[in-house]
């Protein structure tokens, strides 16, 4: 019984401090860096198959594209960030931000979508739904509409220019 209590306390401590319950799985063959799932400033350094949590220098975010700390590029702490490229199936968990619990009578809340300028999310009764902009338009976070790519200033746009 005593053993169980210790285990429960340990689990609670992890939840309270906001640290992840599980360390990510590290490949044993390579030393790589893996982004923290919800905190933009954190990452895991994998060394010899073991993950160690690290913090980026102040003002910087971990940039998974270059696997280094970099200037912030649209990551919002507290929202899930994928380890890998997003799958082609739109996933509401990749909507960046939270939906209010209740809809406003006057406006629909739109959220940007992680790492894909053509997608965006709409809030409905606290739930997120993914939508796609028409043709080549990009989601413009400032105006909350689909817009031409240049004025839309989607933070992930430059990645897709080959
Ligand atoms: C991210 O982690 C840093 C370092 O542990 C912490 O200071 C910061 O509050 C965290 N941010 C969020 C949004 O949890
Ligand atoms: C964005 O998402 C759409 C719909 O899932 C997909 O067809 C498109 O390839 C994605 N674009 C990028 C750049 O990932």
3-state secondary structure 43-92: EEEEECCEEEEEECCCCCEEECCCCEEECCCCCCCCCCCCCCCCCCCCCH
* Distance set, CA 92 to CA 24, 122, 145 (Å): 22, 10, 18
Cβ of 90 closer than 6 Å to ligand 2, yes or no, is: yes
- Coil, helix or strand at residue 144: coil
Cβ of 130 closer than 6 Å to ligand 2, yes or no, is: no
Ligand 1: which of 41, 59, 60 to mutate, most ligand atoms within 8 Å of CB? 41
| Residue 60 alpha carbon to ligand 1 centre in Å | 12
Tokens matching residue 1: 């019984």
Tell me the CB-side half-sphere exposure of residue 113, using CA atoms within 13 A: 26
Buried/exposed 137-162: b ≥16 CB within 10 Å, e otherwise: bbbbbeebebbebeebebbbeeeeee
> For the whole model, what pTM was predicted?
0.47
Q: Quick one: which of 108, 107, 111, 109 has its CA closest to 93? A: 111
pLDDT value for 6: 46
Cβ of 148 closer than 6 Å to ligand 2, yes or no, is: no
Q: Are 62 and 41 in contact (CB under 8 A)?
A: yes
pLDDT value for 4: 53
Segment 41-87, tens digit of pLDDT: 999 998 888 888 999 999 999 988 788 899 888 888 877 775 544 44
Which is higher by pLDDT, 5 or 62?
62
CA 110 – CA 141 distance, rounded (Å): 8
pLDDT value for 82: 59
pLDDT value for 27: 73
15: confidence class by pLDDT, cuts 50, 70, 90: very low
* Helix, strand, coil percentages, rounded to 5, for the chain: 15, 25, 55
- For ligand 2, atom 3, name the residue with the nearest CA: 88
Segment 103-159, tens digit of pLDDT: 888 888 999 998 889 999 999 989 999 999 998 999 999 999 999 999 999 988 765
Report the nearest atom of ligand 1 relative to the CA of 55. Answer: 4
| Residue 40 alpha carbon to ligand 1 centre in Å | 8
CA 155 – CA 140 distance, rounded (Å): 10
| Residue 94 alpha carbon to ligand 1 centre in Å | 20
Cβ of 132 closer than 6 Å to ligand 2, yes or no, is: yes
Cβ of 41 closer than 6 Å to ligand 1, yes or no, is: yes
CA 52 – CA 128 distance, rounded (Å): 33
């Amino acid at each position: 019984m005593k053993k169980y209590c210790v285990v429960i306390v340990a689990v609670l401590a992890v939840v309270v401090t906001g640290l992840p319950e599980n360390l990510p799985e590290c490949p044993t063959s390579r030393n790589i860096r893996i982004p923290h799932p919800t905190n933009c400033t954190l990452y895991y350094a994998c060394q010899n198959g073991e993950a160690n949590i690290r913090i980026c220098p102040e003002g910087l975010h971990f940039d998974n594209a270059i696997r280094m700390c970099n200037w912030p590029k649209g990551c919002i702490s507290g929202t899930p960030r994928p380890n890998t490229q997003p799958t082609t199936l739109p996933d509401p968990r990749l909507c960046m931000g939270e939906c209010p619990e209740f809809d406003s009578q006057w406006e629909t809340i739109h959220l940007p979508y992680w790492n894909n300028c053509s997608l965006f999310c709409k809030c409905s009764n606290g739930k997120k739904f993914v939508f796609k902009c028409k043709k080549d338009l990009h989601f413009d976070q400032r105006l909350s509409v689909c817009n031409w790519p240049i004025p839309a200033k989607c933070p992930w746009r430059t990645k897709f220019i080959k």
